[in-house]
Chain A
Amino acid sequence: MSDRKILVTSALPYANGPIHLGHLVEYIQTDIWVRFQKQRGNHCYFVCADDTHGTPIMLKADREGIKPEQLIAQVGKEHLADFTEFGVAFDNYHSTHSEENKTFSSLIYIRLRDAGHISSRTITQAYDPVKAMFLPDRFIKGECPKCGAADQYGDGCEVCGATYSPTELKNAVSAISGEKPIEKDSVHYFFNLADFTGMLRDWTNAGHLQAEVCNKLAEWLDGGLQQWDISRDAPYFGFEIPDAPGKYFYVWLDAPIGYMASFKNLCDKQGLDFDEFWAEDSTAELYHFIGKDIIYFHALFWPAMLNGAHFRTPSAIFVHGFLTVNGEKMSKSRGTFITARTYLEHLNPEYLRYYFAAKLSAGVDDIDLNFDDFSQRVNSDLVGKVVNIASRCSGFISKRFANVLSASCSEPALFQEFINANEQIAAFYETREFGKAMREIMALADKANQYIDEKKPWLIAKQEVQNA
C-alpha cells in the first residue's frame, strides 16, 4: 500500500440546468477512481463546485423573476442531491460564487497583470439597445450568411455547419429583446496566452495528457495562440475585475479557479495544508477529469494561468468522450435525454455505475448506453454472477451451520488466485481501464460459480455434518 497525496476534480456543472446521464459519465468515472484510491489507503480528496457565473445564468434568473444568487443556490442544492444519490462522494462541493473563488481569481489576475501577461484594448461588439447589454454570440440570432437558414446563432450555423462572426449574420436580432443589435465599443482585458507558447509546448509533451489530446494540442500550438478575452461588461453575473470597475471576469476565467477555491474551503474545514497541494513546488498529485469539449480551457488556458501566477500545474488531465444512447446523440424527442432525477425515480443508481464502469476505458472515445445491453449486462454480471454466489452459499450455511463459516479453507489455491488477481485489477483501475477491470472481476466470478457447480458445497456440507 502506498501513501500518495492526491487531489482530484470533476468539471464544474453549470448552474442553469439539471444533471443528466451525459454528465454522470464523468462524475461516476471520477468517483470510481477516487474510491479506488481511498480503498488503497491513499490520501485522496475529491472536490467540485457549481459553475455559477455568466450571462445565461443572469438571464435565466431574470426570466424566473429571482436573483441569480437564489437561482444558483437552488440549482446547486439539486445538483448535489443528484450526485449524492448516485453515490458520487465529493469531499467538498462548493460554488464558484464564493469568497474563496473571488480571492483566488483576483490574486491570479493580479499576478498575471504584474508579470505583464494582461493587456487591454477596445473592441466592437453587438449590443442590445433595449436590454442595455452586450450580447454574447449565442444570444444573437439571424439568417446564416452562407446558406440563408433562419434562426441561427451568432457563432455558427447548425444547418450548414459554417462558422462566422455575429456581424456577418443577416437580419440579426437579439435573442433577449428581439431588437436589432447595434455595434458598440468597449475596453476588454486579454490574457496573453502566446507568452506561454514555449511553456505549453513543453508541458503538453511531458506525459500529462492522453496521446489523442496531445495531438489536438499540437495542432492548436502550431496554429499560433491568440489572446484570450477574459473580461465582460456589466451587466454580468460574476466577479468584478479588481482594477477595472464595471468589467467582470469572463466565467471561464474563474471556473477552473473554482477547483482551488473548493479545495481551500475544504482545507479550512478540515485543517488541511492548501500549499502542500497548490504551491509551485508541490509534490502532491493533481488530476482533472474533463469531457473532450473543454480541453482548450484545461490544457492550454489553465496550465498557463497557473504557471504565470506561480502555482503548480496539473499532474494530468483525464479526458473522456461523450455519452450516446442507443447509438445516437441524446435526444429530447426520443426520450433519451434523461435527467439524473428521472433515472433515480425508476432505477437503482448502481446499475448505471456498473454499466458505465464496464464501458469505460482510458481513451477519449464516446461510450454508448444501449438499454438492452444495459439490462443484459447488469442482470448477467451483477445479479447472475456476483450476487448469485452469495445467495447459493448462504442457504446451506444458514441451515446446516447456523451461519458460521468453515474452520478451514477448502481451496487455498483458488483463494490465492483471487488474491493474486488484485494487482492486475488495481492496475486497470489506476489507469482508468475500468472496462478491463470489470472483465477481470467477472472472469473471477465465473470461476467462483464454476467451483460451486463442480464441488456442490452443500453436498460436502451434508457429508461433514453426517461425519461429525
Chain B
Amino acid sequence: MGINLFRLLAAFLKPVIPTLAENAENFLNIDSQAWPADARPLLNHAINNFKPLMTRVDADKISAIVEASKENLEKTTDKRSTFAQRNEKKFEPIADIIEFDDFAKLDLRIAKIIKADQVEGSDKLLQLTVDIGDETRNIFAGIKSAYTAEDLEGKLTLVIANLAPRKMRFGYSEGMVLAAGPGGKDIWILSPDKGAVAGMRVK
C-alpha cells in the first residue's frame, strides 16, 4: 500500500524532480508515468531493490558554494578572460614540441619602423613601413588599440621576414610584427637591446 502511494507522489512530483521520479520508476519497475488521473494500484507486481533516491542537503556544501562564489569574484576582478579562467592557468598552454629545423625556418629580423599610418576603414590596423636592412616592407599590424603612430615611428622591433605575403582588404602585408599580450590595450611590441640595427637576423 505504502509503495502504491509513493508511486502516485512520484507521478505528481515528476514535473519538478524528473530524475528522482525516473529513479523511482526504475525502483518500482514501471514505465514512465503519465499524469495519474486514472491510475490503478500495482498489485502482485515485482519491484526492484531499493536504492537511496536522494540524500540530505549537506550544509557544508552550501558554505562551499558561497566561498566558491566569492572566489569567482576575485577571478573576474583581476580581469582575466573567461577563457583563461577555464583552464585555471594565467596563460595559454605551451605549444607542441618542435624540432630545431622547424625553428630555423623562421627568419626573424630586427626592423626599424620608418612610418606608421592610419588605415582608412579599419579600427584595428596600422600600416607600417619598416626597414629590414637591405629592403623596406609594408606591414599591416593589428596594434592600433595599443599604439599611436607617434609611439612607433623610429622604433626598432622584431618582425618575421619570410612569412608569405598576405593580401588584406587594404593591400599586401609583407611580414608580421611580433608582439605580446592578450589584445585590446594590452599589446606590447618587442624591442631589442641598444646596439642592434635593422636587418640583423634573430637566431
Binding site for B on A (CB under 8 A): 1, 18, 31-33, 35-36, 39-41, 62-66, 74, 87, 89, 131-133, 235, 332-339, 342-343, 345-348, 350-351, 353-354, 357, 371, 374-375, 378-379, 382-383, 386-387, 389-395, 397-398, 402-412, 414-415, 418-419, 421-423, 425-426, 429, 434, 437-438, 441, 444-445, 447-448, 451-452, 455, 457
Chain A residue at minimal CB-CB distance from B122: A132
**B147 close to A (CB within 8 Å):** no
Chain A residues lying within 8 Å of B62, measured Cβ to Cβ, are 346-347, 371, 374-375
Chain B residues lying within 8 Å of A132, measured Cβ to Cβ, are 123
Chain A residues lying within 8 Å of B61, measured Cβ to Cβ, are 346-347
Q: Do the beta carbons of A235 and B69 come within 8 Å of each other? A: no
Chain B residue at minimal CB-CB distance from A63: B184
**Complex-state Cα separation, A140 to B27, whole angstroms:** 59
Chain B residue at minimal CB-CB distance from A330: B69
Chain B residue at minimal CB-CB distance from A390: B6
Chain A residue at minimal CB-CB distance from B83: A64
**B17 close to A (CB within 8 Å):** yes
Q: Do the beta carbons of A382 and B54 come within 8 Å of each other? A: yes
Q: Do the beta carbons of A441 and B123 come within 8 Å of each other? A: no
Q: Do the beta carbons of A379 and B56 come within 8 Å of each other? A: yes
- Nearest Cβ on chain A to B117's Cβ, whole angstroms: 16
Chain A residue at minimal CB-CB distance from B57: A375
**B104 close to A (CB within 8 Å):** no
Q: Do the beta carbons of A390 and B27 come within 8 Å of each other? A: yes
Q: Do the beta carbons of A35 and B123 come within 8 Å of each other? A: no
Task: Given A342-B68, A448-B9, check contact A398 B73 (CB 8 Å).
Answer: no
Q: How large is the interface on B (under 10, 10 to 19, 20 to 34, 35 or more residues)?
A: 35 or more
Chain A residues lying within 8 Å of B36, measured Cβ to Cβ, are 419, 422
Partner of A444, one of B9, B19, B52: B9
- Nearest Cβ on chain B to A402's Cβ, whole angstroms: 8
Q: Interface segment, B42-50, B108-116, B192-200?
A: B42-50
Task: Given A353-B17, A448-B6, check contact A457 B1 (CB 8 Å).
Answer: yes
The total of interchain contacts (Cβ-Cβ below 8 angstroms) comes to: 232
**B93 close to A (CB within 8 Å):** no
Chain A residues lying within 8 Å of B98, measured Cβ to Cβ, are none
**B55 close to A (CB within 8 Å):** yes
Partner of A415, one of B4, B46, B73: B4
Chain A residues lying within 8 Å of B47, measured Cβ to Cβ, are 394, 397, 403-405
Chain B residues lying within 8 Å of A351, measured Cβ to Cβ, are 57
**Complex-state Cα separation, A335 to B57, whole angstroms:** 19
**Complex-state Cα separation, A32 to B17, whole angstroms:** 9
- Nearest Cβ on chain A to B122's Cβ, whole angstroms: 9
Identify which of residues 9-50 in chain B touch chain A, using a CB-to-CB cut-off of 8 Å.
Answer: 9-20, 24, 27, 33-39, 41-50
**Complex-state Cα separation, A390 to B190, whole angstroms:** 70
Q: Do the beta carbons of A383 and B83 come within 8 Å of each other? A: no
Q: Do the beta carbons of A422 and B35 come within 8 Å of each other? A: yes
Partner of B70, one of A63, A87, A335: A335
Chain B residue at minimal CB-CB distance from A382: B54
Chain B residues lying within 8 Å of A391, measured Cβ to Cβ, are 50, 52
Given contacts A334-B66, A426-B37, 17 further A-B pairs with CB under 8 A are A1-B35, A74-B83, A332-B73, A343-B65, A350-B18, A375-B62, A379-B56, A383-B54, A390-B27, A393-B6, A394-B49, A406-B44, A408-B43, A415-B41, A419-B39, A441-B9, A447-B5
Partner of B5, one of A235, A394, A414: A414
Q: Do the beta carbons of B5 and A415 come within 8 Å of each other? A: yes
Partner of B123, one of A235, A382, A383: A235
Chain B residues lying within 8 Å of A444, measured Cβ to Cβ, are 5, 8-9, 12
Q: Do the beta carbons of A422 and B37 come within 8 Å of each other? A: yes
Chain B residue at minimal CB-CB distance from A434: B16
Chain B residues lying within 8 Å of A386, measured Cβ to Cβ, are 6, 9-10, 13
Task: Given A39-B34, A132-B123, check contact A333 B73 (CB 8 Å).
Answer: yes
Chain B residues lying within 8 Å of A342, measured Cβ to Cβ, are 65, 68-69, 72
**Complex-state Cα separation, A40 to B37, whole angstroms:** 9
Chain B residue at minimal CB-CB distance from A87: B18
**B165 close to A (CB within 8 Å):** no
Chain B residue at minimal CB-CB distance from A385: B9
- Nearest Cβ on chain B to A86's Cβ, whole angstroms: 10
Q: Do the beta carbons of A39 and B73 come within 8 Å of each other? A: no
Task: Given A337-B69, A339-B69, A405-B3, check contact A419 B38 (CB 8 Å).
Answer: yes
Chain B residues lying within 8 Å of A438, measured Cβ to Cβ, are 16
